[in-house]
Amino acid sequence: MLAIYPGSFDPVTYGHIDVIERALRIFGRLVVAVAHNLEKTPIFTVEERLKILRAVTREIPGVEVDGFEGLLVDYARRRGANVIVRGLRALSDFEYEFQMALTNRKIAGDIETVFLMPSEQYSYLSSRIIKEISALGGDVSAFVPDIVARMLKAQG
């Protein structure tokens, strides 16, 4: 069964990778889908994020990396997937995710959203925190794959 894991992935962290691995144990095939979304100040372009995701998932069988524009449920339908995977960390994720999942259900009742919890050690990790640490010159290598740490450093 094919599932879609959508997000910004700006940048991908070990938390995302943990969710990817868990999803694959259930669904077998997973499209990690980078949203061309509305965030005003991304640190990496969509093209860079796709490149990074392809590099870090190259050795994980069953993963495809793609970008999409427009409504997620339209993209899922185009891909023939009726499962959306999202990660759930602390309580703070709940309200937004609940709203999104039920809204998507309203507009596409045939598509189900499934939430997966990461390993505890990643449950406080977010792309936003990585961007902040990196902008302040901190070391993010415990939280993101090497390629991400290197590209963040290269951004200055």
Which residues belong to the active site?
16, 40, 89, 127
**Number of chain positions touching ligand ADP (CB under 6 A):** 16
Residue 87 is a binding residue for ligand ADP (CB under 6 A): yes
Q: Is 57 in the site for ligand ADP (CB under 6 A)?
A: no
Question: What are 28's two structure tokens?
Answer: 């077998």
Judged by beta carbon, residue 3 or residue 19, the one nearer ligand ADP is 19
Of the candidates 3, 4, 19, 140, which one interacts with ligand ADP according to CB under 6 A? Answer: 19
Nearest-angstrom CA–CA distance, 80 and 90: 31
How far is it, in rounded angstroms, from Cα 126 to Cα 38? Answer: 18
Residue 97's SS3 state is helix
Reduced to 3 states (helix: H, G, I; strand: E, B; else coil), residue 24 is: helix
Q: Is 125 among the residues that bind ligand ADP (CB under 6 A)? A: yes
Of the pair 8, 57, the CB lying nearest ligand ADP is at 8
Applying the rule CB under 6 A, the residues between 127 and 156 that interact with ligand ADP are 127
Q: Which residues bind ligand ADP (CB under 6 A)?
A: 7-9, 13, 15-16, 19, 86-87, 89, 93, 118, 122, 125-127
